[in-house]
């Protein structure tokens, strides 16, 4: 039952710019076991299903609950909302740094982190955009699911930022808010396929190349920080900026506090 409620909170990461479900799984100490369970699902499937089902049921419910809320907040209070999410991200950095240094870390891995940061930042700057996103075809809807799968599995990638960079984030959020099954059903199919494929791959890398894998993930995670604040967020000496900065601090403190309750997974 506890994992179900954690899953609901993880669902917030699935619809929030800068956060992701996988980041929340790391914070709650569920990441390694979840990835391993998905990647090796067909070994003891009943046991893996009983572990995964409450988590992903919670994530699905969390996405439906928070999708509408985030859509309204971004529409009415975009700057405050984005600064709050930025606070969540910054507060998670110490946790990721501890994860990177958990096994056999040395100075050469800083180069890997920096390289991953540069690559991630470059990817976020790509100007790729779907046209006529209000009427996505089947491939476009499945592609949304695949993109979400990457952030579900890889903490350094954020689906909201990736979808924003290709012009699909508003379509995704609106589909959740309006329960548009024409987009959501194919997206869920793409999500399922993507999670199975990516989880098997990441599980192998973590098992065999822990430090380099987490170094790359950490660098990619850092690269989403500048992407959370888009061109519509403009700082000025006014009440909105003050409130935004207050919520940034609140987001940071919540994220930092949650990260301190995370335990090292076996």
- Please give the pLDDT value at position 63: 82
pLDDT range class, residue 132, cuts 50, 70, 90: very low
pLDDT by residue (tens digit) across 178-195? 888 888 899 889 988 988
* pTM exceeds 0.85: no
DSSP state of 44: S
Determine contact, residues 14/152, Cβ cutoff 8 Å: yes
pLDDT by residue (tens digit) across 3-62? 898 888 888 777 776 667 777 787 777 888 888 898 888 888 889 999 999 998 988 888
- Please give the pLDDT value at position 88: 84
115, two tokens: 């390289």
- Please give the pLDDT value at position 266: 41
Give CA–CA dist 255/176, Å, rounded. 25
Return the percentage of the chain with pLDDT > 90, whole number: 14
**Averaged pLDDT for residues 92-103:** 85
**Averaged pLDDT for residues 219-238:** 74
Return the percentage of the chain with pLDDT > 70, whole number: 85
- Please give the pLDDT value at position 230: 60
- Please give the pLDDT value at position 115: 95
2-13 vs 45-76: helix axis angle to the nearest 10? 40
73 phi-psi bin (left φ>0, alpha ψ -120 to 50, beta other): alpha
- Please give the pLDDT value at position 181: 85
Q: Look at residue 161 and tell me whether its pLDDT is greater than 80.
A: no
Ranges of H-type helices in the chain: 2-13, 21-27, 31-39, 45-76, 78-100, 108-124, 138-153, 159-165, 169-177, 181-208, 210-223, 225-228, 239-260
Q: Look at residue 265 and tell me whether its pLDDT is greater than 80.
A: no
Q: Look at residue 114 and tell me whether its pLDDT is greater than 90.
A: yes
Angle at 78 between CA 27 and CA 218, to 5 degrees: 30
168, two tokens: 């699909």
Please report, for residues 130, 155, 157, 195, the alpha-carbon distance to residue 200 in angstroms, rounded to integers and kept in the order given.
29, 15, 17, 8
Higher pLDDT, 212 or 11: 212
Determine contact, residues 151/20, Cβ cutoff 8 Å: yes
Q: Look at residue 111 and tell me whether its pLDDT is greater than 50.
A: yes
Arithmetic mean of pLDDT over the chain: 81
Does residue 264 sit in helix, strand or coil?
Answer: coil
pLDDT range class, residue 175, cuts 50, 70, 90: confident
């Amino acid at each position: 039952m506890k994992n179900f409620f954690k899953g609901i909170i993880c669902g917030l990461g699935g619809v929030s710019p800068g956060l992701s479900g996988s980041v929340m799984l790391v914070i709650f100490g569920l990441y390694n076991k979840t990835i391993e369970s998905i990647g090796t699902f067909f070994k003891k499937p009943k046991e893996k299903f009983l572990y995964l089902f409450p988590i992903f049921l919670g994530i699905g419910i969390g996405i439906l609950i928070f999708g509408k809320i985030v859509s309204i907040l971004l529409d009415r209070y975009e700057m405050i909302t984005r600064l709050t999410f930025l606070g969540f991200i910054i507060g998670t950095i110490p946790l990721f740094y501890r994860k990177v240094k958990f096994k056999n870390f040395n100075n050469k891995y800083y180069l890997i982190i920096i390289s991953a940061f540069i690559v991630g930042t470059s990817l976020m700057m790509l100007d790729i955009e779907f046209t006529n996103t209000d009427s996505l075809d089947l491939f476009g809807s499945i592609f949304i699911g695949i993109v979400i799968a990457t952030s579900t599995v890889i903490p350094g990638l954020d689906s909201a930022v990736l979808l924003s960079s290709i012009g699909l984030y508003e379509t995704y959020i609106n589909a959740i808010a309006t329960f548009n099954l024409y987009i959501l059903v194919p997206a869920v199919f793409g999500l399922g396929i993507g999670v199975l494929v990516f989880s098997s791959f990441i599980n192998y890398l973590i098992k065999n190349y822990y430090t380099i894998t987490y170094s790359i993930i950490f660098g990619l995670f850092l690269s989403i920080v500048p992407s959370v604040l888009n061109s519509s967020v403009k700082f000025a000496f006014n009440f909105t900026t003050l409130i935004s900065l207050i919520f940034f601090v609140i987001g940071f403190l919540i994220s930092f506090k949650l990260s301190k309750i995370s335990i090292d997974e076996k």
